[in-house]
Structure 1
Amino acid sequence: MTDWTSGYVADIGYTFGYYHELNPLRLRLAFLNAGVTPPETNVACELGFGQGMSINLHAAASVTQWYGTDFNPSQAAFAQELALVSNAGAQIFDEGFAEFCNRKDLPEFDYIGLHGIWSWISDENRSIIVDFFRRKLKVGGVLYLSYNTQPGWASMVPMRHLLTEHAEVMAAPGRGIISRVDAAMEFAEKLLATNPLYLRANPQVAQRIKSMKAQDRSYLAHEYFNRDWHPMPFAEMAEWLAPAKLNFACSGHYLSHVNGVNLTGDQQAFLNDIPDPMFRETVRDFMVNQQFRRDYWVRGLRRLSNVERIEAIRRQKVILILARTALSLTAVGALGEAKMHDNIYSPILDVLTDHRVHTIGHIEQAVAKDCLKLAHILEALMLLIDKGAVAAVQEDQVIENAKLQTDRLNLHLMNKCKGSSDISYLASPVTGGGVGVARSEQLFLLAALNGRKQPSEWAQFVWEIFAAQGQSIVVDGKALPTAEANIAKLTKDATAFALQQLPILKSLQIA
């Protein structure tokens, strides 16, 4: 019988995650920072969309026409449900790469995104996908591709093989993937407890196994237990993409753009002496022990003049999407934790703290009295975007056109939160993508939409939902014992939500 899974874990669904890097709007500032011409994105595609949260949030929150596929029919069915609700026109398929990539009815794309797919598929599927890039990515179009890479994964490769072999060889017949994952993790711990020479040569593996045990089992199954798993060095990735005429543009990981938190002065000088930009990326991966790359590639890279670059940066709109009181002014790069200088960040945040839309040019004018230059502002915004505190903003007409779509989708997602905490994002027409909103906060919004006006009424609304399912609020690992205690905690949370988060969600046109 044909194995339609192609060796990929399919007996358990993927998590309902959302990935900001897949938002085409996000690439603009990264390109401008790198001096590369950003494209307009009218038609986009996501390959391997999992549960379809990203493709649907991006389709609903923009005017971009989206296409995508995921071979898992249950995941594709959920994604199609969301697409029908938003009525944003996303074309969702449940086809494998070979079938989808050879469809005759697909347009050419301005943007193609794959998040975490490349490392878990066969060389045969990689060849199919590269040919798809060659035929279907427009000249000037952008590919976003994230993948496991070396040298950061080098020490873990043998352990990963051991885990998957245990799951295949030692598991009792009929045991599900979650049971096999747990058994393999337990076996790995017992092995490491014997202090093998492998552990002595690779002591970091013990910490990785420990951190894995704390992670969601669905995530672990998809991350580590597929038949194919290949951390690929950057140079090898470049060789794979060469037939599609793709050039590396820049990292999609905003933190990687800030050398000061990732590289020492000596390392920066060493890299600057390497004339070949591709080899420079390879060497940089050794310096930061890179294990996961998030990269933009372009078919026909064009450089901006310095004048064009600065003018485009100044026109870019941004908004603060996190309460300032919740923002920690630290950044964790390859060199460890670094303090973000208050004399730079405070003036910028003073401008943004109204949670309104501002152009970078307006910020530049407002902080000129603080002797901050455009370069300071741009680096600060790159770090703030990486921290999820700031987001790029779409044009007014796009926001207006997308608003009805996001309203429909968000109402559907909030209603799903009545019975599950799986989904923790809603769509913003302002940012063109998803914004993190916890289950209780979504239910507070739903209460308001159902005519409850005060935080105390929102709390009662949420408690009625929880109580009907035998659920309680958990504080410090313990469920609150009485209805009164639960309602009191929910009222406190709802009051804080009304004061802090609700005004931000209104600015993002979610509430």
Structure 2
Amino acid sequence: MPDWTAGYVADIGYTYGTYAELNPQRIRLAFLMAGLVPPETGTACELGFGQGMSVNIHAAASTTTWYGTDFNPSQAGFARELAVASGADAHLYDQSFEQFCSRTDLPDFDYIALHGIFSWISDENRAIVVDFIRRKLKVGGVLYISYNTQPGWAAMAPLRDLMAEHANVMAAPGVGSTARVEQSLTFVERLLATEPRYLRANPMAKARFEKSRSQDPAYLAHEFFNRDWLPVTFSQLARWLEPAKLNFACSANYLDHLDFINLTAEQRQLMADIDDPVFAQTTRDIIVNQSFRRDYWVRGARKLDTIALDEQIFQCRVMLLTNREAVPLKATGTLGEVSLNEEVYGPLLDRMAGHEALSIGDLMAYGNTIKLSRSKVLQAVFVLVGIGVVGMLQDQHTIDRATPQAQKLNLHLCALARGGSQVQHLAVPATGGPLKVDRFHQLFILARSMGSRDAQDWAAYAMSVLSRMGHRLTVDGKPMESDTEQLEDLLNRATVFRDKILPILVKLGVVA
């Protein structure tokens, strides 16, 4: 293992996922729901950007200037390729945190983001990152930080340590991370089959391990097999961040804000009796057995008065991101899955079904005509954004400026889809963030960009790509044997795309 890794897995690339919480546009409604002044987001920085999917999508789909680093040069190279393709204002490096954070040519930032990385780096690097935040985050600026937390990981931690130790001392010499992961998982399976007393005391550990067993080895390598791995309590993180003078603002996971789907009445009363915000969050993590937090912290939290708060909420614009009939009237919290009230959500979704930009004020006015209170409308919008079917929109000037570069990036990502299905998101200038678009829809977009205008041509193009790559569609886990059957399936997909998906993508600015 090369010494520049500092104990971090570097011989296997991170996944190509995107994380909506990293989108600065999401901060606004979350802060308003917490009664706080939302930040400006002209300059942003992501530390440890992995393959760079999120940083590039958020740069291309907005007018924000982005900086970032990921010490893995192959990942940084891919990220730079995407930045060149879009032409967005993104400055991406392959430096270590120590190198990047000591640069003298960086601006001060409105927004700094760390997704997961704080859990996987050494104490020395954590100190470097916190000092960087102290020096470079503007007054009023926001830190997004997600990290593994102690309550949910407490039972699994010994198994993780055992897997990492097995990879270090028992793996065959010279094998890569993928093989070491597989060998370690196989060993733990053998261990658990002996029914160790540890499982009796920690029955949830087996379920957590079995879930991990089915996940992408590249993800597992980065999640479990770094030298440093530290789930922390909320109060421990607060102490880490003290030198940066940050206040906890709120969760970046919208559904965490809704106590009725996460806490029992007795638990809500207990929480209401706790005045200290840090102790309250630490206690709440115990109640819900939190394993991963996504949080916003702010340098100088400021409360909005009632009039200003209402004005800003009313002005927020939203749009339905999917077809009306595809919206599940369900939300999942710690207490399990809950059904959303059809009498509240149904009319609001009907109002948004045309995929037009509507302000929350518009929806409240509409709600008033059908006897829905403002509070019910606002909570419904918040839930719909939280489950990912409604998006918070940027202002129109930003959308207009971002659209050309977002569409350039999207065509490049669609071209990558010819080789496989690793890239599953495109940039949305309407929301400033990502939207999941499957491989076949990306191939149809690519065919359309080359002049093909009907579903038959799109299906034929996708068929030619699959043939060149030796890929086949599957039915019940088995590859289709007949080209005719495969082409018919692709035509059905292309027709649905033309009639149901494409009109929404055009409204959102994903494609021209």
Q: TM-score, normalised by structure 1?
A: 0.99
* SS at structure 2 position matched to 1:167: helix
**2:249 corresponding residue in structure 1:** 249
**1:298 corresponding residue in structure 2:** 298
**1:313 corresponding residue in structure 2:** 313
- The Cα of 1:231 is off from its aligned counterpart by 0.3
**2:21 corresponding residue in structure 1:** 21
**1:419 corresponding residue in structure 2:** 419
Greater shift, 84-93 or 131-140, is seen at: 84-93
Inter-partner Cα distance in structure 2 for 1:76 and 1:272: 46
- The Cα of 1:434 is off from its aligned counterpart by 1.1
- Provide, for residues 302-337 of structure 1, a one-character-per-residue CA deviation record: whole Å limited to 9, x for no partner: 011122111111100111102222221111110011
**2:171 corresponding residue in structure 1:** 171
Inter-partner Cα distance in structure 2 for 1:304 and 1:67: 30
Inter-partner Cα distance in structure 1 for 2:6 and 2:436: 33
**2:137 corresponding residue in structure 1:** 137
- The Cα of 1:378 is off from its aligned counterpart by 2.0
2:452 pairs with 1:447: no
Instruction: Work out whether residues 109 and 138 of structure 1, in 8 Å CA contact, stay in contact via their aligned partners in 2.
Output: yes
- For 1:185-204, what aligned pairs fall within 5 Å after superposition? 185-204=185-204
* SS at structure 2 position matched to 1:13: coil
Instruction: Work out whether residues 322 and 388 of structure 1, in 8 Å CA contact, stay in contact via their aligned partners in 2.
Output: no
**1:156 corresponding residue in structure 2:** 156
**1:377 corresponding residue in structure 2:** 377
Inter-partner Cα distance in structure 2 for 1:6 and 1:405: 36
Inter-partner Cα distance in structure 2 for 1:229 and 1:488: 48
2:80 pairs with 1:80: yes
* SS at structure 2 position matched to 1:331: strand
**2:357 corresponding residue in structure 1:** 357
Inter-partner Cα distance in structure 1 for 2:83 and 2:407: 13
Instruction: Work out whether residues 51 and 79 of structure 1, in 8 Å CA contact, stay in contact via their aligned partners in 2.
Output: yes
**1:118 corresponding residue in structure 2:** 118
**1:409 corresponding residue in structure 2:** 409
Quick one: which amino acid aligns to residue 272 of structure 2? N
Greater shift, 234-243 or 494-503, is seen at: 494-503
Quick one: which amino acid aligns to residue 433 of structure 1? G
Inter-partner Cα distance in structure 2 for 1:259 and 1:82: 40
- The Cα of 1:2 is off from its aligned counterpart by 7.0
- For 1:197-346, what aligned pairs fall within 5 Å after superposition? 197-346=197-346
Inter-partner Cα distance in structure 1 for 2:50 and 2:242: 27
Inter-partner Cα distance in structure 2 for 1:83 and 1:284: 40
**2:54 corresponding residue in structure 1:** 54
- The Cα of 1:369 is off from its aligned counterpart by 2.5
Inter-partner Cα distance in structure 1 for 2:327 and 2:119: 33
- Provide, for residues 226-273 of structure 1, a one-character-per-residue CA deviation record: whole Å limited to 9, x for no partner: 000000100010011110100000000111011110001111111011
Inter-partner Cα distance in structure 2 for 1:2 and 1:426: 34
Instruction: Work out whether residues 424 and 438 of structure 2, in 8 Å CA contact, stay in contact via their aligned partners in 1.
Output: yes
Inter-partner Cα distance in structure 2 for 1:488 and 1:436: 24
- The Cα of 1:483 is off from its aligned counterpart by 1.1
Seq. identity, %: 52
* SS at structure 2 position matched to 1:418: helix
Instruction: Work out whether residues 45 and 68 of structure 2, in 8 Å CA contact, stay in contact via their aligned partners in 1.
Output: yes
**Segments ≥4 residues shifted beyond 2 Å:** none
Quick one: which amino acid aligns to residue 345 of structure 1? Y
2:471 pairs with 1:471: yes
Inter-partner Cα distance in structure 2 for 1:231 and 1:162: 16
Quick one: which amino acid aligns to residue 446 of structure 1? L
2:461 pairs with 1:492: no
- The Cα of 1:183 is off from its aligned counterpart by 1.1
- Provide, for residues 324-372 of structure 1, a one-character-per-residue CA deviation record: whole Å limited to 9, x for no partner: 2222111111001111111111111011111111100001111213322
Inter-partner Cα distance in structure 2 for 1:408 and 1:451: 16
- The Cα of 1:207 is off from its aligned counterpart by 1.1
Q: How many residues align?
A: 511
**2:7 corresponding residue in structure 1:** 7
Greater shift, 166-175 or 324-333, is seen at: 324-333
**1:387 corresponding residue in structure 2:** 387
Greater shift, 374-383 or 174-183, is seen at: 374-383
* SS at structure 2 position matched to 1:417: helix
- The Cα of 1:132 is off from its aligned counterpart by 0.2
Instruction: Work out whether residues 151 and 285 of structure 2, in 8 Å CA contact, stay in contact via their aligned partners in 1.
Output: yes
Inter-partner Cα distance in structure 2 for 1:307 and 1:263: 30
* SS at structure 1 position matched to 2:460: helix
Inter-partner Cα distance in structure 2 for 1:185 and 1:373: 53
**1:100 corresponding residue in structure 2:** 100
Instruction: Work out whether residues 71 and 95 of structure 2, in 8 Å CA contact, stay in contact via their aligned partners in 1.
Output: yes
- The Cα of 1:387 is off from its aligned counterpart by 1.5
Instruction: Work out whether residues 149 and 233 of structure 2, in 8 Å CA contact, stay in contact via their aligned partners in 1.
Output: yes
Inter-partner Cα distance in structure 2 for 1:276 and 1:425: 40
Quick one: which amino acid aligns to residue 185 of structure 2? M
- Provide, for residues 446-484 of structure 1, a one-character-per-residue CA deviation record: whole Å limited to 9, x for no partner: 111112111111101110111112111112111111110
Instruction: Work out whether residues 257 and 382 of structure 1, in 8 Å CA contact, stay in contact via their aligned partners in 2.
Output: no
Quick one: which amino acid aligns to residue 206 of structure 2? A
Quick one: which amino acid aligns to residue 128 of structure 1? I
**1:505 corresponding residue in structure 2:** 505
* SS at structure 2 position matched to 1:231: coil
- Provide, for residues 98-134 of structure 1, a one-character-per-residue CA deviation record: whole Å limited to 9, x for no partner: 0000000001000000001000000000000000001
- The Cα of 1:375 is off from its aligned counterpart by 1.7
Greater shift, 163-172 or 373-382, is seen at: 373-382
Quick one: which amino acid aligns to residue 320 of structure 1? L
Quick one: which amino acid aligns to residue 494 of structure 1? A
Inter-partner Cα distance in structure 2 for 1:152 and 1:408: 41
- Provide, for residues 266-313 of structure 1, a one-character-per-residue CA deviation record: whole Å limited to 9, x for no partner: 111110111112211111111111110000000011011122111111
Inter-partner Cα distance in structure 1 for 2:363 and 2:138: 35
Query: Any gaps of 5 or more consecutive residues in structure 1?
Result: none
Instruction: Work out whether residues 319 and 357 of structure 1, in 8 Å CA contact, stay in contact via their aligned partners in 2.
Output: yes
- The Cα of 1:382 is off from its aligned counterpart by 2.0
- The Cα of 1:388 is off from its aligned counterpart by 1.2
Inter-partner Cα distance in structure 2 for 1:361 and 1:172: 63
